[in-house]
Amino acid sequence: MTETRPAAEENDIRQYENLLKKRRKNRWTDIRHQIPLYLMILPGMIYLTCNNYLPLFGILIAFKKVNFSIGIFKSPWVGFDNFKYLFATKDAWIMIRNTLLYNLTWIALGLVIALAIALFMSEIADRKIAKIIQPVICFPFMISAVILSYIVYGFLSVTNGYLNSVILDKPINWYMSAKYWPLILTIVHFWQVSGQSSIVYMASIGGIDKSLYEVARIDGARKLQQIWHITLPLLRHMIILMLLLSIGSIFNSDFGLFYQVTLNSGMLYSTTQTIDTYVYRALLEMNNVGMSSAASVFQAIIGFLLVLLSNAVVRKFDKDSALF
């Protein structure tokens, strides 16, 4: 026993070393096979790094009084003065109120409209017709804000606009009346983004097992019952995910929509001024880069905290639907 034991241990060590060599060789073989995949994701990683991570150094600007003659790093620190200025203005309540109310309304209505479009598209039996309709409803999303502003102006122009010239008996100066613009911006927003927003739900509906609907039809379930008891429950995880992502940008706004489409009319600021447009105007008028950066940091931090809070709530009631 005393003579065979060292031999057995030596044999085990040799087998263990051979196993390590084999695993190491297999690992490098797998890496070589995956090189094309690494090359495919390389452009995306470079873009992500340059566009999302390198600009993080600009957070310093939010806490400094920038003097370009001496550079950003040598500029004096001012603490939270830039943030105080952002909330000390008389327009602070107006821009925060508008940003929140527009986003809350658009998140709620956007979910309903996107789901409705996806459900209608899934009911089109002819796939050729569906392939024609889908690009048509998604096309407005690709229109730039400048072109969009001209389209809206074609409807709202006081002299030659379609509404004033054809439909209304008494012309309305739309660009001087702030009370109409919450509805106008909501209509324009959904016309532009609803088709694009519904694509995610279309793809999810396409992945649902069709046999579930066949069984439901055999049992006598009507179309609305199939949607309520099959489609919507199976879309629950995707709906929650999209809501969580939307909440993260609740303090941001579509700058082109609120600035270009309204033609930057000062008479509309009470209902069209958001954090983004206010910061942009302040940057143009006062050249205050620090305050502009502070607003961006504020939006990012609040959005991040809201995502964490929302995810915690979702995780408490439905752990499988939480982001993390």
Tell me the DSSP string of 19-47. Answer: HHHHHHHHHHHHHHHTHHHHHHHHHHHHH
Cα 240 from Cα 233, distance rounded (Å)? 11
Helix (H, G, I), strand (E, B) or coil at 64: strand
pLDDT at 31: 75
Cα 197 from Cα 108, distance rounded (Å)? 13
Cα 230 from Cα 136, distance rounded (Å)? 28
pLDDT at 74: 86
Residue pLDDT, tens place only, 184-205: 999 999 999 999 899 999 989 9
Q: 222 near 178, Cβ under 8 Å? A: no
* Domain covering 81-321 in this structure, CATH number: 1.10.3720.10
Among 57-61, 183-187, 289-293, 306-310, the range of highest mean pLDDT = 183-187
Domain ranges of the chain: 4-63, 81-321
SS3 of 238-280: HHHHHHHHHHCCCCCCCHHHHHHCCCCCHHHHHHHCCHHHHHH
CA 265 to chain CA centroid, Å, is 27
Residue pLDDT, tens place only, 32-47: 778 888 889 999 999 9
- Average pLDDT, integer, range 88-116: 90
> What are 199's two structure tokens?
């694509």
Per-residue pLDDT for 112 more than 90?
yes
Residue pLDDT, tens place only, 255-299: 999 999 999 888 999 999 998 898 888 778 777 788 888 888 888
Mean pLDDT lowest among 10-24, 31-45, 160-174, 254-268: 10-24
pLDDT at 16: 64
Cα 246 from Cα 248, distance rounded (Å)? 5
pLDDT at 20: 67
φ, ψ at 268 (rounded to 5°): -105, 0
Mean pLDDT lowest among 23-37, 88-102, 135-149, 264-278: 23-37
Task: For residue 77, give the DSSP letter.
Answer: B
The most distant pair of C-alpha atoms in the chain lies apart, rounded to whole Å, by 111
Cα 74 from Cα 65, distance rounded (Å)? 10
